[in-house]
Chains A and B, each alone.
Chain A
Amino acid sequence: MKFSDQFEQRFTEMLTHYPTKRSVLVPTLLFAQDEIGFLSDEVIHELAGRLDLTDLEVRNVISYYSMLTTKPRGKFNVQVCTNIACMLRGADELFEHCEKKLGIGHKGTTPDGLFSLEEVECIGACSWAPAAQVNYDFHENLTPDKMDRVLDEYKKKGTQ
């Protein structure tokens, strides 16, 4: 299993931050997921080996955090918040709109591998509800129209 030099550098540095090796697991998983796209069996086995954990322990941690995934996702992961503030400002309709537009449901991925859709809990953007997060970028004060434009832009970016 080979990671990028950047990953290796971050991993080595991270180890110096904690008293025990296993503590670096969560950030490391996030780095690995950003690099590979998801946490494959191979990644799990590799990291378990490096941190003296069993594969099962690594899986336990992954399954606890909803931001970590063991299944491949689209290039752009569209996360629509449906918690109270967003809900009151039309998040449910927004989510339904996304479902129709992308032709996929919660946790689905488009056949071209470009988009995944997820209904998520609060992302801390209540002041600008309804909000959605695509990968690490926030999109706020959304309406179905505005969402279309956001998605179209990503589509353009992804197919270039």
Chain B
Amino acid sequence: MAEVNITVDGKKVTAPAGTLLIEACKGAGIEVPSFCYYPNLSLQGACRMCLVKIEKMPKLQTACTTVISEGMSVTTDTEEVHQARKSMVEMLLGNHPLDCPVCDAGGECELQDMTFSYGAAESKYIDAKNHKEEQQWSPVVYFDRPRCILCYRCVRVCGEGMDVWALGVQNRGVSSIIAPNQDDHLECEECGMCIDICPVGALTSGAYRYKTRPWEMKHVGTTCTHCADGCKTTLGVRRCDTGMEIVRGDNRDKSGINGDFLCIKGRYAFDFAHHEERLTQPLIRKDGRLTPATWEEAFELIGKRFAEVRGKHGGQAIGVVGSTRTTNEDNYLLQKFARVVLGTNNIDHHRTADFPALAAALSGKPEMTASMRDVFHAPAMLLIGNNPTEQHPLLAWQMRNNVRLHRARLYVVNSQPIKLRRQAASFSQIPAGGEGKLAAFLAGDDSAVDALLNEKTTRDSCIALREKLRGEANLVIIFGSEIRGNNITSVVKFASAIPGAKVLCLADYANSRGAADMGLYPDLLPGYHRVTDAGKFHEEWGGVPEARGLTFPEMVESAKAGALRACYLVGANPIGRFGIDPYAFSHSFVVVQDMFLTETAVMADVVLPAANAYEKSGTFTNTCGDLQLVKKAGEVTGTKSDFEMIVRIADAMGFDLRKLVPFGRGAHFDMGQSRGAQSGEADRHAVWLQAQGLEPQMSPFDPMAILDEIQRLVPGYDVSRMNLLAGNEQHTTLAGSGTGALQNPELIVPAQDDLFSSGTLGRYSRTLNSVIENHHKESAETDVAAD
């Protein structure tokens, strides 16, 4: 695009044609204040704060609605401009309650900042303030009308950004008010974007309001623990009786892959961490009852029993189940513990997508996995199955706004009329279960088309769609768990024929992808290397059991038959989630690490209280393969991280911890004993640390020590540590992965979570439950009305 030259305050500024003056100024480091202007939302021109003087124009102009043109000469800092802005602030303050000392926004309020900058402390108006009591619009959204300055950001973000259109403006002029769609309450997706975007304290959050002040919290930017999209959420924490309490989740710094976006779960559903049923003491079954015990007692018992079973019956008598919500470091360590310490490949997790098939299909091909950012910039997208609005809110936001802002073409194929069809250039409704056939059809199997037809979708429309897609360079193909096994191969085959095409496979939990990448499979090691072909892992770990292990259903069978003598479940609740007979494990010694006494924990012999992902450090890999840092925010006294517990159990079993966690290495200086090819043979890990400019980790409980090993050994994870630590996402690739392996597609059990549910975590979130209850109540009322 052609560049345009303008002058702002005597400074030469160059920006692409079509740039708004306010953005051009921002780019040149000149601040033009505004309330109603918000990047990527439609223009409003309502607040008149961005008035500037443009040469040859008679009156002051709004910088937010002026497109720059060649030779334009602008001044932003004259007495006239100052005076104009000052009077705008004065008018806004005319009916503003000035209850800053109790307002949630106090300290983070744009009106406060403007008042300080432009000073309108004295008002010419002495009219009585028009007061109105605050209103509760939903369990999470409150509205304090007098504080509203009518910038309409909330209305626009709800409509344009979210495609919900739940907020509107009623009346006109001085009587204008922001109104919810249901008269006195909201019926919406409860994302809270309106609250985040509100420049003042008019919209406040049910979870946070009147609890604390912004400057009294510590703000920790971490990765959300709910769905698999990997939004960055900034948690506000405060010291409390039991450690550090999380009081707020929001998106203040907008620096994550989610940009402006955050959904209800990332924003409010941190409250499970402080649920009163949280376990804070180890429990050991004594005389049939789970009884509080000390950590030492618990580790000693577990170490003794695990060692016994391994000694007497071998590793195949022990089963391990990992989690999709623990970090990569926890998962990598857990499978290494299983394979190296327990000597078994019996390890599995709750699978919600077929990543091994994806790795297999991509093996040996150039990199073609899409990142979350790619979805916002791709010129065309194909969505097969899934309902991102409910299951992947960020992905839906990226797709929706890519269509809105970049005019991308979205093709949707689904068995249901999902909401994203409203943004779609083409929507094809196919019979339920036909997604796999679609993949086959796309890949060239014309006979598969018969399974796609119904009254809405014809053979010709399918052929036309395929033709159209073939011509879409740089297409991003997004598919849900409906596509598994060979069908993934078909999708990849189809994508390979399109220049620049990328694929994105959707799983359901925060670290589902990480669990798969880290090798929580009975037949696959980290990086999708087969256990029969352990290669470098064999070398590094000093041996890996070669026999394929048991899948989780096989472990259940084995336990029922009495062969599985011990079972170790880390952050997994298979009994609650899969409806398995709780007595299946009654002959096994069962250890559970969890936050709550879940259906699985109640039948355990030892329960260890675990810290959740908001209470520890490490990394998560989102469903796209974007690796992000998880930072410790909250803390609940009496819990330990899964990482530490795994290490302590290995220690209690008498295992040499240096063989499990690469800590304390790299501190030895090379005094000239080794040279040339031999240097590094002695301690590859130490050499790698030095090459990467990394510090040696000095504690066996430091997850970063395992991240070192992951980065060194897992293909695709050799990303920039500097960028990762700086808080940026780093896209991992599957191009260099192992060969993967065909999995039984039945083992994939979709989470079936919607916008307001989140597996076991969601059950302990008061906010999510209150929203669900509210929505049920409403739909019950509508049903009655409809009758």
List residues of chain A with CB under 8 Å of any chain B CB. Answer: 54-57, 59-60, 63-64
Contacts and interface: CB of A to CB of B under 8 A. Distances in A.
A63 B177 CA distance: 10
B172 interface: yes
Contacts of A60: 168-170, 179
Contacts of A57: 165, 168
Interface secondary structure of B, over-half rule: strand
B171 A59 contact: no
Interface of B: 165-172, 179-181
A56 B165 contact: yes
A44 to B, nearest CB: 12
Top 8 closest pairs, chain A to chain B, by CB:
A63-B170, A60-B168, A56-B181, A56-B168, A54-B165, A64-B172, A63-B171, A60-B169
A55 B165 CA distance: 10
A121 to B, nearest CB: 12
A59 B172 contact: no
B165 A59 contact: no
Contacts of B168: 54, 56-57, 59-60
A63 B172 contact: yes
A57 B170 CA distance: 9
Contacts of A59: 168, 170, 179
Nearest to A64: B172
A56 B171 contact: no
A54 B181 contact: yes
B662 to A, nearest CB: 58
A64 B176 CA distance: 9
Nearest to A53: B165
A16 B36 CA distance: 34
A56 B179 contact: yes
Nearest to B166: A56
B530 to A, nearest CB: 53
Nearest to A63: B170
Interface secondary structure of A, over-half rule: helix
A77 to B, nearest CB: 20
Contact of A64 (B167, B171, B180, B181): B171
Nearest to A52: B422
Nearest to A60: B168
Contacts of A63: 170-172
A60 B178 CA distance: 10
A55 B179 contact: no
Contacts of B171: 63-64
B185 to A, nearest CB: 12
User: Which of A54, A55, A56, A63 has the most chain B CB atoms closer than 10 A to its own CB?
Assistant: A56
A107 B165 CA distance: 31
Contacts of B167: 56
27 contacts: A54-B165, A54-B166, A54-B168, A54-B181, A55-B181, A56-B165, A56-B166, A56-B167, A56-B168, A56-B179, A56-B180, A56-B181, A57-B165, A57-B168, A59-B168, A59-B170, A59-B179, A60-B168, A60-B169, A60-B170, A60-B179, A63-B170, A63-B171, A63-B172, A64-B170, A64-B171, A64-B172
Contacts of B170: 59-60, 63-64
A56 B169 CA distance: 9
Contacts of B165: 54, 56-57
A10 B181 CA distance: 29
Contacts of A55: 181
A55 B180 CA distance: 11
B143 to A, nearest CB: 14
Contacts of A54: 165-166, 168, 181
Contacts of A64: 170-172
A83 to B, nearest CB: 16
A64 B173 CA distance: 9
A64 B168 CA distance: 11
B155 to A, nearest CB: 9
A60 B170 CA distance: 5
A59 B182 CA distance: 11
B179 to A, nearest CB: 7
Contacts of B179: 56, 59-60
Nearest to B165: A54
Nearest to A66: B172
A130 to B, nearest CB: 25
Nearest to B171: A63
A64 B172 CA distance: 5
B651 to A, nearest CB: 61
A63 B179 CA distance: 11
Nearest to B169: A60
A106 B508 CA distance: 59
User: Which of A55, A57, A60, A64 has the most chain B CB atoms closer than 10 A to its own CB?
Assistant: A60
A63 B172 CA distance: 7
B547 to A, nearest CB: 60
Nearest to B175: A63
Contacts of B181: 54-56
A63 B165 CA distance: 17
B189 to A, nearest CB: 14
Nearest to A54: B165
Nearest to B181: A56
A109 to B, nearest CB: 21
A59 B181 CA distance: 9
A139 B170 CA distance: 32
Nearest to B422: A52
Given A56-B165, A56-B180, 18 more contacts: A54-B181, A56-B166, A56-B167, A56-B168, A56-B179, A56-B181, A57-B168, A59-B170, A59-B179, A60-B168, A60-B169, A60-B170, A63-B170, A63-B171, A63-B172, A64-B170, A64-B171, A64-B172
Contacts of A56: 165-168, 179-181
A101 B446 CA distance: 81
A58 to B, nearest CB: 9
Nearest to A41: B183
A160 B165 CA distance: 47
A49 to B, nearest CB: 14
A60 B177 CA distance: 10
B368 to A, nearest CB: 37
Contacts of B169: 60
A55 B168 CA distance: 10
B317 to A, nearest CB: 61
A60 B165 CA distance: 12
B782 to A, nearest CB: 13
Nearest to B155: A60
A57 B181 CA distance: 9
Nearest to B180: A56
B21 to A, nearest CB: 28
A57 B167 CA distance: 9
B173 to A, nearest CB: 9
A60 B167 CA distance: 10
A63 to B, nearest CB: 4
B287 to A, nearest CB: 62
A54 B169 CA distance: 13
A60 B152 CA distance: 13
A56 B159 CA distance: 11
B174 to A, nearest CB: 13
A56 B171 CA distance: 12
A55 B183 CA distance: 10
Nearest to B164: A54
A56 B181 CA distance: 5
A63 B176 CA distance: 9
A57 B156 CA distance: 12
A125 to B, nearest CB: 23
